[in-house]
Amino acid sequence: MNDQSPTRDERIEKLKGLGASRRRVEDVRFTQGKGNYVDDIKMPGMLFGDFVRSPYAHARVVSVNKAAALALPGVVAVLTAEDLAPLGLHWMPTLAGDKQMVLADGKVLFQGQEVAFVVAKDRYTAADAVELIEVEYEDLPVVTDPFKALEPDAPVLREDLAGKTEGAHGHRRHHNHIFTWEMGDEAGTETALSEAEVVAEETVYYHRTHPCPLETCGCVASMDKVNGKLTVWGTFQAPHAVRTVASLISGIAEHNIRIISPDIGGGFGNKVGVYPGYICSIVASIVTGVPVKWVEDRMENLMSTAFARDYWMKGRISATKDGRITALDCHVTADHGAFDACADPTKFPAGFFNICTGSYDIPVAHLTVDGVYTNKAPGGVAYRCSFRVTEAAYFIERMIEVLAIKLGMDAADLRAKNFIRKDQFPYHSALGWEYDSGDYHTAWAKALEAVGYKSLRAEQAARVEAFKRGETRKLIGIGLCHFTEIVGAGPVKNCDILGLGMFDSCEIRIHPTGSAIARLGTISQGQGHATTFAQILASEIGLPADDITIEEGDTDTAPYGLGTYGSRSTPVAGAATAMAGRKIRAKAQMIAAYLLEVHDDDVEWDVDRFTVKGAPERFKTMKEIAFAAYHNAIPGLEPGLEAVSYYDPPNMTYPFGAYICVMEIDVDTGVWEIRQFYALDDCGTRINPMIIEGQVHGGVTEGLAIAMGQELAYDEIGNVKTGTLMDFFIPTAWETPHYITDFTETPSPHHPIGAKGVGESPNVGSVPAFSNAVQDAFRAFGHVHAHMPHDHWRIWTIAEGLGLHA
């Protein structure tokens, strides 16, 4: 007779599976400074690379004189486009179907562009050699404004595309035009707008910013000339895709390339793309036969690697007089910089921007996006959001506020009036998405109740009166946001990157003693995958999470996957993990039945064991089953206990949330203070509430930065004005307020465990909440809209424009 203790609840608790606030296993090494990042990798004989970068935003490169640099002791090589051209590597394909210069080929197109690559015996010599390289430039006219770039007589930026009227995404109507992407019903939208009782119009700019991860980008490339194998350790958010791309570009067979993403210090989309530093390091290692390290500094990261946003969104929204929305139109002018290097699925040149109808039941909508070249750095990545979703969320949440002003309605009421109702899911949006599940009204009511919305509005109105009487110089803003994300790219039928379907994978091996290793196609950059994926698996296979190793990032050992960005790890790889776990359990069931001498159908799963139906005292634990898998000769069954799953999601997932920000604003100085920030997230099934809370704190802090000051600003001749952390706003603990987190739980109906993903929701949802708070503070004085970022002087400018300083 088996022992019946511990109890079922005790056994569940021991697993630390779904729903447990399990401590992050990664933090032991991270908090002790024992992580292993790219720059920690040291190899015998390793050389160091450094770039000569363009000080100009647009110039012809007349000559590059390497002589003095090559004469410096310790300098091994200096590469220019001329050296790379015979290999066909002076240009490289981008993820968006464009191509990008690896090293300046005749001209430079943005400040900070890579011109020459120095390889030297140490980092100092490399930097000295950079100074010795003489580059002669000839100025060309600079365009940093996407609207001016489309004027007929605008300078031609991409001479390599001269005469090409077809691009990767269709017709190009101007020499600086990249694509036009259109969705929805133009005629129906125009009809609805023209017949509407009320139409609100606004141009909403989401300024250019940058993911700015704590660790910058870098790699160590090592070509082993004996066995012909190239190994590259790098800051890659998608190591398997990098391997395939590297093989296609270099001609090296894919089995001879090994890509390893070691610990990564944050990515936020910045580390999805391929950068010239990687190509140059690989070429340099092939040429020299020794490993070559390249790690960029902070200024290089901000000035040359992938930026985010830079969307000019011109919107029209119509409604009945009582606030029922009837149509939405949006035209985006998208500044992509010098090369189209967005990291979007191939069929979505503007990402999933067509989620811009948001949380609302809008009967008809129309969207066009024009991509434009300018003399700015390339990029357009999803900075802690799914592809262009944060732009979409900001757009619709601003348009709702603008419409509320036009209608004279409370913005919370206007939202509630137009939410997609719970009974409408799965909901088909006017711009083509099928929302999986949601319960917006419940979340919204909970949020308004939690912050005491009605009394906040009363206090705000009283403050306005006090201000008018001259008793205070501070106003109160109440920033509302109800966002719907679209994450988990994605179904292979419509989502691919460079032809690679956006499935993901998990491979599990159960060891004889009842512990396990699981490998995934994703790669954590701080999200805590080693913690949470073990929890998913613990609940699926009944082994404690503490006994499960999670490994990612080495293409020689991990199954193929598309990596980690767009909150896709849990929706896609998390699903693969659950499905692989279920395969393990299916085989375990047969083993258990054999050991218990009953038919397969006569045993049932119970937390961590199979029991005989109707006789729970007869059972075999997973630990016992694991040993049996390697010990017993079971008729009809192969030895061992392993499984692999490649998961192609049937749909995206649609997390949502309700965020509210209460802000005090000093009218004279523009100084703001966050009095309250409430974040309710519904990410479906919650795997680890503590990690969710941490993700929300981090994402809201990034949103705070973006909304309140963070920008990549350029002057009119293309100089980056915010190229250091003195000017590029990263909040410290001092500027970061307390956050209140809350949740509702509406599982995804199509995901194996109902999880939707959460990492990016707080960035998507908080930016509109912060911005709406600023704008709402001035609503009583006739203010409608002002562009972000809302730093002190721009807030002051709103007040100045309203005559509040008189």
Partner 1 sequence: MIPGHFEYHRPTDVASALGILATHGDEARALAGGHSLIPMMKLRMAAVGHLVDLQAIPELRGIEVGPGRIRIGAMVTQADIIAHAGLTAAAPILAETALMIADPQVRNMGTIGGNVANGDPGNDMPALMQCLDASFELRGPEGARTVKARAFYESAYVTARSDDELLTAVSFAPTGGGYAYEKQKRKVGDYATAAAAVILTRAGATCASASIAMTNLADTPVWAEAAGAALVGTPVDAAAIKAAVAAMRAAISPTGDNRGPVAFKHHVAGAVLGHAIARAWSRA
> Least CB distance from residue 767 to partner 1, whole Å?
18
**Residues at the contact surface with partner 1, assessed by CB under 8 A:** 50, 123-124, 126-128, 131, 297-299, 666, 668-671, 709, 713, 721-722, 726-727, 729-732, 734-735, 791-793, 796-797, 800, 805
**Nearer Cβ to partner 1, position 128 or 436?**
128
Strand-pairing partners, residue 478, are: 662
- The catalytic residue among 384, 463, 519, 585 is 384
- The catalytic residue among 100, 111, 113, 237 is 237
State the DSSP string of 549-585. Answer: EEEESBTTTSPP---S-TT-IIIIIIHHHHHHHHHHH
> Least CB distance from residue 796 to partner 1, whole Å?
5
**Nearer Cβ to partner 1, position 646 or 729?**
729
131 annotated active-site: no
**Nearer Cβ to partner 1, position 408 or 734?**
734
| Cβ–Cβ < 8 Å for 340, 301 | no
Strand-pairing partners, residue 295, are: 218
Report d(CA 88, CA 786) in Å as an integer: 47
3-state helix, strand, coil split of the chain in percent (to 5) is 30, 25, 40
> Least CB distance from residue 299 to partner 1, whole Å?
7
Q: In whole angstroms, how far apart are CA 160 and each of 54, 177, 276, 437?
A: 19, 13, 18, 46
Comparing CA positions, the residue from 538, 561, 518, 765 lying closest to residue 649 is 561
Comparing CA positions, the residue from 288, 176, 296, 158 lying closest to residue 222 is 288
- The catalytic residue among 296, 391, 540, 760 is 760
> Least CB distance from residue 123 to partner 1, whole Å?
6
Report d(CA 211, CA 264) in Å as an integer: 14
> Least CB distance from residue 669 to partner 1, whole Å?
5
**Nearer Cβ to partner 1, position 186 or 727?**
727
> Least CB distance from residue 132 to partner 1, whole Å?
11
- Cβ neighbors of 163 (< 8 A, separation 6 or more) are none
The tokens 């200096």 sit on which residue?
78
Specify the DSSP class assigned to residue 155: P
- The catalytic residue among 385, 495, 661, 683 is 385
**Nearer Cβ to partner 1, position 528 or 698?**
698
237 annotated active-site: yes
> Least CB distance from residue 29 to partner 1, whole Å?
24
8 annotated active-site: no
State the DSSP string of 662-695. Answer: EEEEETTT--EEEEEEEEEEE-BS-S-HHHHHHH
> Least CB distance from residue 730 to partner 1, whole Å?
8
Q: Phi/psi at 475 (nearest 5 deg)?
A: -115, 160
Comparing CA positions, the residue from 87, 9, 11 lying closest to residue 608 is 11
384 annotated active-site: yes
The tokens 């296993």 sit on which residue?
25
| Cβ–Cβ < 8 Å for 245, 230 | no
| Cβ–Cβ < 8 Å for 568, 504 | yes
| Residues acting as catalytic residues | 237, 384-385, 760
